[in-house]
Amino acid sequence: MAKIKPSKGAAYARILGVGGYRPTRVVPNEVILETIESSDEWIRSRSGIETRHWASDEETVAAMSLEASGKAIADAGISAEQIGGVIVSTVSHFKQTPAVATEIADKLGTAKAAAFDISAGCAGFGYGLTLAKGMIVEGSAEYVLVIGVERLSDLTDLEDRATAFLFGDGAGAVVVGPSQEPAIGPTVWGSEGDKSETIKQTVPWTDYRNGTVEKFPAITQEGQAVFRWAVFEMAKVAQQALDAAGITVDDLDVFIPHQANVRIIDSMVKTLKLPEHVTVARDIRTTGNTSAASIPLAMERLLATGEAKSGDTALVIGFGAGLVYAATVVTLP
């Protein structure tokens, strides 16, 4: 029986660069109030959101991804030709095939990089990061680009009082490459499909095509059920990620949770008993919930503003439709 030659990858992987792109149009709560019965005070108190960005026709999933990716590649100090893999997490690319990752890989100028899309909702960045780490350690790529991108304004029902104010558009990207020391910890991830009805698309595309429904499909959720699950169950997952990395909350510098809701973020901070020195991302206030893009966008902003710095130890956790989740500890680029 022939013996398969072992892979020759890097010992470890790390995030080498990060980039983000937010559409130029800024949408305040007042615009949302044109179609739902609510108030600016209610939206802020329930979600923490003051403004969000909505994409123009030109700011496609691919276009936003290319902008964020170019910044991440430059930040990493490498060239696009060195990228061996492109992973895009999105639920708002409306071409079923081909994967938008292939278009991005080509337009960036990669040397025929492996390219594919994943659908893991708001946990998509964590899923992509884990896959990228595996590719680098396994040896199938030296550098992998991980992109979280959404145009959730296309999937927002502006008459749905529970969700109309939540979603925004944008793209965040990171370059993952080889490291001589551990810089991306073990991932704690999973799914709870029995709760999938709590966040979902209203109807299948086929119902709209066949005329069974007249309204274009949108994302809807059961707010209270999602809130309880996120606060209580995801705090446990976050702690498991810390344990898996072999650190405690006292060792943390930064906490970057999925930007779903400020109340969820604040409750997780309290449950985890994070020390006051830990910087907490609250990018949702001006960016809204951008699903797979929220963690890399928040990471990019913290580094750009100086609230976080290169080499900081950060806990990242994403959670959402599925219900799926992924948490890990990383060293910031």
How many whole angstroms separate alpha carbon 186 and alpha carbon 234? 16
129-159 in b/e burial notation, b at 16+ Cβ within 10 A?
bbbbbebbbeeebbbbbbbbbbbbbbbbbee
CATH architecture of 12-181: 3-Layer(aba) Sandwich (3.40)
Which structure tokens are listed for 186? Answer: 């073990």
Task: Specify whether the CB–CB gap between 323 and 229 falls below 8 A.
Answer: yes
Q: What is the pLDDT of residues 155-175, one digit of tens each?
A: 999 999 999 999 999 999 999
Where are the chain's structural domains?
Answer: 12-181, 185-332
* C-alpha closest to that of 252 among 309, 332, 328, 313: 313
Domain 12-181 and domain 185-332, same fold? Reply is yes
Q: Are 146 and 128 in contact (CB under 8 A)?
A: yes
pLDDT tens, per residue, the chain with 333 residues: 888 887 789 899 999 999 999 999 999 999 999 999 999 999 999 999 999 999 999 999 999 999 999 999 999 999 999 999 999 999 999 999 999 999 999 999 999 999 999 999 999 999 999 999 999 999 999 999 999 999 999 999 999 999 999 999 999 999 999 999 999 999 999 999 999 999 999 999 999 999 999 999 999 999 899 999 999 999 999 999 999 999 999 999 999 999 999 999 999 999 999 999 999 999 999 999 999 999 999 999 999 999 999 999 999 999 999 999 999 999 999
Residue whose structure tokens are 């010992």: 11
Query: Taking Cα atoms as reference points, which of 120, 22, 95, 109 lies closest to residue 63?
Result: 22
Q: How far is CA 316 from CA 130, 162, 188, 270, in A?
A: 12, 26, 11, 16
Which helix or strand (DSSP H or E) is residue 231 part of? helix 223-245
The predicted structure's pLDDT at residue 300: 98
Question: Is residue 53 packed enough to be buried (19+ CB in 10 Å), middle (13-18) or exposed (0-12)?
Answer: buried
The residue assigned the tokens 């109340």 is 263
| d(C-alpha 200, C-alpha 161), whole Å | 16
Active site residues per annotation: 122, 258, 289
User: What would the CATH number be for the domain defined by 185-332?
Assistant: 3.40.47.10
Name the residue among 14, 86, 76, 69 with its Cα closest to residue 328: 14
pLDDT tens, residue by residue, 247-283: 999 999 999 999 999 999 999 999 999 999 999 999 9
**What's the whole-model pTM score?**
0.96
* Rounded (10°) CA dihedral 10, 13, 15, 16: -20
The DSSP line for 45-100 is HHH--SEEEE--TTS-HHHHHHHHHHHHHHHHT--GGGEEEEEEE-S----SSS-H
User: Phi and psi for 28 in degrees, rounded to 5?
Assistant: -80, 170
> Using alpha carbons only, what angle is made at residue 146 by residues 141 and 149, rounded to the nearest 5 degrees?
155
Burial call 171-190: b when 16+ CB within 10 Å, e when fewer: bbbbbbbbbeebbbbbbbbe
Omega within 30 of 0 (cis) for the link into 98: yes
